[in-house]
Amino acid sequence: MAENLLTLAGAMSTARLEKSWSQINSGYIAGISCTGANLEEDVFLLTANSHYETIDDWRSLSAADDTELLGRKLNRVTDCMHT
């Protein structure tokens, strides 16, 4: 099997790499070259999805909301919560 390199440009936090996950997981894509920021968010989402909670309107969270998330041991990274 030929090794393929996936090249991407732009912000990867909105690229939603899960659309390519089956090709990555099967070994068809051997590497990713990315000029965009926040690639780690999609990688975490792909590999640890059960530990994520997505908040659609994260920009509207109050300080009290952030305190509640902290109490649940969730680390806020824009619209993704890491456990």
Beta-carbon contacts of residue 15 (< 8 Å; ≥ 6 apart)? 8, 36, 42
* 3 or 64, higher pLDDT: 64
Domain ranges of the chain: 1-47, 50-83
pLDDT number for residue 64: 94
- pTM for this one? 0.41
Instruction: Output 83 or 39, whichever has higher pLDDT.
Output: 39
Alpha carbon distance 42, 17 (integer Å): 6
Q: CA-CA distance, 55 to 32, in Å (whole number)?
A: 27
